[in-house]
Amino acid sequence: MALDIEINGGDRDRFERAARAALDAVEVTEGHLAIDFVDEARIRELNAAHRGKDAPTDVLSFPVDHLGATPGPRELGDVVMCPQLTEDLDEAVVHGVLHLCGYDHEADDGAMLDLQDRVMTGLR
């Protein structure tokens, strides 16, 4: 299976390019992920329900099959973004996809954000 990137709202070519750049950087070559664009109220609901933070945010990631442990095609997960709260949509896609791949900037001493910067440099 190749990469299957589903974009729900927004510029498909633009955001697929950003997602693929992040996946290439971490050498993920197969799987499925979805990127959804929602309003501020919906991202606030998701943030409260899944992170216990009753506030809107720019991007959330919901990894499904991080280690590829389930049989069949790998399900990477979903990235949910709120364009109204996002300064750079391409960077938010890259950020969200890196989270799906197991990166965590809150626990890795800057490794994820350094990688994110390298990916963004390549996109520009």
Q: Do 35 and 20 touch, CB atoms closer than 8 A?
A: no
Place of tokens 């890259």: 94
Residue 91's φ and ψ, nearest 5 degrees, are -65, -35
Q: Which of 22-26, 32-36, 65-69, 83-87 has the lowest mean pLDDT?
A: 65-69
Which pLDDT score is estimated for 108? Answer: 84
Secondary structure class of 66 (helix, strand, coil): coil
Distance CA 97, CA 77 (A): 9
Q: Mind listing the pLDDT tens digit for each residue in 56-102?
A: 999 999 998 755 555 666 789 999 999 999 999 999 999 999 999 88
Task: Provide the residue type at 56 as one letter.
Answer: P
Share of the chain above pLDDT 70, in %: 93
Domains of the chain (ranges plus CATH)?
3-123 (3.40.390.30)
Task: Provide the residue type at 8 as one letter.
Answer: N
